[in-house]
């Protein structure tokens, strides 16, 4: 049985990644971090935000290409691909708006002097699957939605972003758009009409991201996943739609990243865990879970390093 160290979103924080790999017992041999018995599974979101994005790629890519690690695609790799892909209808699949540029500029700058490497890296991003299902272990960036996963399989027969899938996912009217939104960015629901809240950037939002795994949640406020200071502004009214995912305890453990968790790393259910404690944020952590084949996850299997500086 292969054991894995499952590592959350890195976002250009190469120093913390090196520290965590060393802490987990990986050693750099011929320029590639490796472990005699264990492998890493990365949850995606290698890029955007941090100061060492190219260095992160230079660490994770050889590990993956050389068989010492697996990885899924994060929403930031998806965005990078869409940003660089021309839309046959004009412009790019992801708009080069001020907001999108701001989020992505540090990545573009890191490769500004090397267009060939930039383009080659984007085609490598496309080789990252949208999810991994090993039978006894499941990995996805944001939300394990079995219906959407089945729809992808029914239509594309595999978990990769083909050119057609990529193109169709850029348009809201297509199910492909919804699939990427949910699998890579998380499940959202609309607030009751007239209700809104302010997000991290201070933008007014009428939709909330929800704790899709939280079976006991009944109200908008229970399900809300977002900044703590916004919680009192979320209505404590029952949600009538059936929007949560019934991921029951008999299913294999699933790991995700993406959500900026707070406090000490711990599981969300006996078979569900998030490993993103937002290392891109001051006081964030880079978190790993060391999986030895167990169905029932154990809080003692988390390891982390604190954000530098």
Residue numbers of the site for Mn ion (CB under 5 A)? 45, 74-75, 258
State in angstroms the smallest separation of the CB of 170 from Mn ion.
18
State in angstroms the smallest separation of the CB of 78 from Mn ion.
9
State in angstroms the smallest separation of the CB of 67 from Mn ion.
25
State in angstroms the smallest separation of the CB of 295 from Mn ion.
26
Q: Which is nearer to Mn ion, 38 or 211 (by Cβ)?
A: 211
The β-bridge relationship of strands 32-34 and 27-29 is: antiparallel
Tokens describing residue 204: 């007014």
Number of Cβ within 10 Å of residue 40's Cβ equals: 23
Q: Tokens 């406020």 — which residue? A: 221
Q: Which is nearer to Mn ion, 74 or 284 (by Cβ)?
A: 74
Q: What is the edge-to-edge ordering of all strands in the sheet holding 131-133?
A: 131-133, 138-140, 254-256, 272-274
State in angstroms the smallest separation of the CB of 290 from Mn ion.
22
Number of Cβ within 10 Å of residue 68's Cβ equals: 18
Query: Residue 1 burial (CB < 10 Å; 0-12/13-18/19+)?
Result: exposed
Q: Which is nearer to Mn ion, 209 or 258 (by Cβ)?
A: 258
Angle formed at CA 84 by CA 81 and CA 88, multiple of 5 degrees: 105
Number of Cβ within 10 Å of residue 178's Cβ equals: 15
């Amino acid at each position: 049985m292969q054991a894995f160290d499952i590592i959350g979103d890195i976002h250009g924080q190469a120093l913390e990644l090196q520290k965590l790999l060393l802490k987990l017992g990986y050693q750099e041999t011929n320029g590639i971090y490796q472990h005699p018995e264990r492998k890493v599974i990365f949850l995606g979101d290698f890029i955007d935000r941090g100061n060492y994005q190219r260095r992160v790629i230079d660490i994770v890519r050889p590990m993956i290409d050389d068989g010492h690690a697996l990885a899924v695609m994060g929403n930031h790799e998806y965005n990078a691909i869409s940003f660089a892909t021309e839309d046959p209808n004009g412009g790019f699949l992801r708009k080069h708006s001020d907001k999108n540029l701001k989020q992505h500029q540090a990545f573009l700058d890191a490769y500004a002097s090397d267009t060939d490497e930039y383009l080659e890296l984007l085609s490598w991003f496309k080789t990252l699957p949208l999810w991994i299902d090993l039978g006894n272990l499941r990995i996805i960036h944001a939300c394990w939605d079995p219906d959407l996963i089945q729809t992808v399989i029914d239509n594309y027969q595999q978990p990769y972003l083909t050119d057609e899938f990529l193109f169709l996912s850029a348009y809201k009217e297509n199910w492909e758009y919804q699939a990427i939104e949910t699998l890579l960015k998380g499940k959202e629901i609309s607030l009751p009409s007239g209700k809104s809240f302010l997000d991290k950037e201070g933008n007014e939002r009428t939709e909330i991201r929800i704790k899709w795994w939280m079976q006991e949640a009944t109200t908008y406020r229970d399900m809300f996943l977002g900044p703590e200071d916004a919680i009192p502004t979320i209505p404590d009214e029952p949600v009538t739609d059936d929007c949560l995912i019934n991921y029951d305890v008999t299913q294999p453990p699933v790991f995700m990243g993406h959500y900026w968790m707070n406090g000490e790393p711990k599981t969300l259910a006996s078979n569900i865990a998030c490993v993103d404690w937002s290392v891109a944020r001051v006081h964030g952590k880079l978190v790993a879970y060391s999986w030895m084949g167990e169905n029932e996850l154990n809080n003692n299997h988390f390891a982390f390093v604190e954000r530098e500086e």
